[in-house]
Chains A and B, each alone.
Chain A
């Protein structure tokens, strides 16, 4: 049995790429490869992660330029094949700009950069990356973003809710979803969503920065560990 092969895309300005590579390699024991944004093939990979950071310095809008990076054509094909894709923070913003996920991320309601621990309540766990969780699980994960306010119009929100694409919402430590626990003003307290096919997942918090109690928490492992059981990963890699 070979190990799951995970790629992490590094854009100019990505700064969470090494956090993701470290977590996937050392904490999850995956076979990892750093993917340069100029590469044009993702052959041989079972899953791809778009990391946090500030691709292209957030010029124009977060993720707007990264969307046209050479690697993105292959990423679209990879996602179209139904393979697991995870976007974390800036990676989530890139996936929205690329229309691989719906909605957009706006400047935080408070105008402040939020760097703190948050709690998330998972409502949909049958996605590529969240099968390690149970419905209603509450995870404590850090956020670090200035533009993490998820926005979608009424119709788009209704579609997401109806199709079960709202993966997680910000909540209190007890699991209550309310405006006090919503760090950035996201519509319906949304912290994570998936696409209709459920293989592409995006979230603002950083599971890869919560993989060990030595760094403040290990709940990220409960999320990331889901990839080990994902049915979307080719059988021979599991």
Chain B
């Protein structure tokens, strides 16, 4: 059971959550206009999302990835408007 939390090693899950292609991102547009007005003239496109870092106990890399994916599917990302990518690193 991967949710037991008492066995295995410590891992960091990073869930990167971004607005889906085609979904308006006024936050990103506002940041882009800020960058342009600060003379970062090469700026062509900005999308703003979230990075959520979660520390877990996991048996293996695959287990940590699986936990991260399930967290994103259940709560962290809304599949109607967001895509997510999970990456993991062992820290202990």
Contact = CB atoms under 8 A, between A and B. Distances in A.
Contacts of A151: 23-24, 80-81
B76 interface: yes
Contact of B80 (A104, A107, A110): A104
Nearest to A67: B75
A61 interface: yes
B75 A68 contact: yes
A102 B78 CA distance: 12
Interface residues of A, number: 22
B80 A152 contact: yes
A161 to B, nearest CB: 17
B53 interface: no
B81 to A, nearest CB: 5
B26 A111 contact: yes
B10 to A, nearest CB: 24
A109 B26 contact: yes
Interface string A88-112: 0000000011000011101111110
A183 B78 CA distance: 23
A199 B30 CA distance: 38
A61 B78 contact: yes
Interface string A183-212: 001000000000000000000000000000
Nearest to A97: B78
20 contacts: A61-B78, A64-B78, A96-B80, A97-B78, A102-B80, A103-B80, A104-B78, A104-B81, A106-B24, A106-B26, A107-B27, A109-B24, A110-B26, A111-B27, A149-B24, A151-B23, A151-B24, A151-B80, A151-B81, A185-B24
Interface of A: 60-61, 64-65, 68, 96-97, 102-104, 106-111, 149, 151-153, 156, 185
